[in-house]
A and B are shown apart, each in its own frame.
With several copies, the nearest count.
Chain A
Amino acid sequence: MSTDPNMFRLEVREWLDTNCPEEMRSPMSSEKDACWGGRNFIFQSEAQRLWLHRMGEKGWTAPDWPKEYGGGGLNREQLKILNQEMKRINARPALYSFGISMLGPALLKYGNEAQKLTYLPAIIRGEIRWAQGYSEPNAGSDLANLQAPAVDKGDHYLLNGSKIWTSYGDVGDWMFCLVRTDPDASKHQGISFMLFDLKTPGITVRPIKLISGRSPFCEVFFEDVKIPREQQVGELNKGWSIAKYLLTHEREMISWTGLSRTGSDSVSKTATQVIGKTGDKLDDAILRADIVRFEVDEMAFALTIERARDEVKAGVSLGAVSSWFKFFGTELNKQRYNLLMDIHGSEALAWSGEASDDGKLARDWLRTKGNSIEGGTSEIQLNIVAKHILGLPG
Chain B
Amino acid sequence: MALVLTEEQTMLRDAAKDFLGSRAPVLHLRQLRDDEETQGFSRELWTEMAEMGWAAIIIPETYGGLDYGYTGLGLVLEESGRTLTPSPLISTALLSSSALILSGNDGLCEQWLSQIATGEKLLSLAFEESAQHRPASVTTQAVSEGDGYRLSGTKLGVMNGNSADAFIVTARTRLSDDPCEGVSLFLLPANADGVKIETTQLLDNHRSSTVRLDGVFVSSDQLMGPLHDGYPILKKTLDRGRIGIAAEMLGVAQESFDRTLQYLKERKQFGVPIGSFQALQHRAATLFGEIELCKSVVLKALQAVDENSDDIALLASLAKAKCGQTAKLATAEGIQMHGGIGMTDEFDIGFFIKHWRALNQQLGDSRFHLERFARLRAY
Give A contacts to B, CB under 8 Å. 135, 137, 140-142, 145, 164-165, 208-211, 213, 266, 268-269, 271-272, 274-275, 277, 280-282, 284-293, 295-297, 299-301, 303-304, 306-307, 310-311, 313-314, 321, 324, 327-328, 334, 341-342, 344-353, 355-356, 359, 362, 365-366, 369-370, 372-374, 377-379, 382-383, 385-387, 389-394
Contact = CB atoms under 8 A, between A and B. Distances in A.
A139 to B, nearest CB: 8
A271 B367 CA distance: 14
Contacts of A391: 261, 265
Contact of A310 (B4, B264, B279): B4
Given A307-B300, A374-B340, 16 more contacts: A137-B341, A281-B379, A285-B371, A292-B371, A296-B321, A303-B300, A306-B3, A327-B289, A342-B365, A349-B202, A351-B205, A382-B285, A386-B278, A391-B261, A392-B261, A394-B277
A206 B94 CA distance: 44
B208 interface: yes
B329 to A, nearest CB: 11
Interface residues of B, number: 77
Contacts of B279: 379, 382
A159 to B, nearest CB: 22
Interface of B: 2-4, 128, 130-133, 156-157, 200-205, 208, 261, 264-265, 267, 269-270, 272-273, 275-282, 284-286, 288-289, 292-297, 299-300, 318, 321-322, 332, 335-336, 339-346, 350, 353-354, 357-358, 361-362, 365, 367, 370-371, 373-375, 377-379
Contacts of B156: 346
A301 B132 CA distance: 30
* 9 pairs of A and B residues whose beta carbons are closest in the complex: A394-B276, A211-B350, A386-B281, A345-B131, A385-B285, A307-B3, A300-B293, A303-B296, A304-B296
Given A211-B344, A211-B345, A296 B285 contact: no
Contacts of A288: 374, 379
Contacts of A275: 132
B342 A383 contact: no
Given A300-B318, A304-B296, A373 B336 contact: yes
A300 to B, nearest CB: 4
Contacts of A293: 370
| Chain B CB within 10 Å, residue with most, of A142, A285, A286, A374 | A286
25 contacts: A137-B341, A209-B345, A280-B379, A281-B374, A295-B377, A296-B318, A300-B293, A303-B3, A304-B292, A306-B3, A345-B130, A349-B358, A352-B200, A352-B201, A366-B203, A369-B336, A373-B336, A374-B340, A383-B278, A385-B289, A386-B285, A391-B261, A392-B280, A394-B272, A394-B278
A362 B203 contact: yes
A373 B340 contact: yes
A390 B345 contact: no
Nearest to A286: B367
Contact of A296 (B269, B273, B289, B373): B373
Contacts of A137: 341
A164 B344 CA distance: 11
Contact of B332 (A295, A369, A386): A369
B293 A301 contact: yes
Given A142-B269, A296-B370, A324-B289, A353 B200 contact: yes
Contacts of B343: 210-211, 369-370, 373
A300 B285 contact: no
A140 B267 contact: yes
A133 to B, nearest CB: 15
Contacts of A377: 336, 339
Nearest to A283: B132
B4 A311 contact: yes
Contacts of A383: 278, 281-282, 285
Nearest to B267: A140
B379 A307 contact: no
A286 B364 CA distance: 13
Contacts of B202: 349-351
Nearest to B282: A382
Given A295-B377, A345-B131, A383-B281, A289 B265 contact: no
Nearest to B349: A211
B203 A307 contact: no
Contacts of B378: 272, 280
Nearest to A164: B340
Contacts of B261: 390-392
Nearest to A392: B275
Contacts of A301: 293
A363 to B, nearest CB: 8
Nearest to B338: A373
Contact of B350 (A351, A366, A394): A366
B288 A389 contact: yes
A369 B279 CA distance: 19
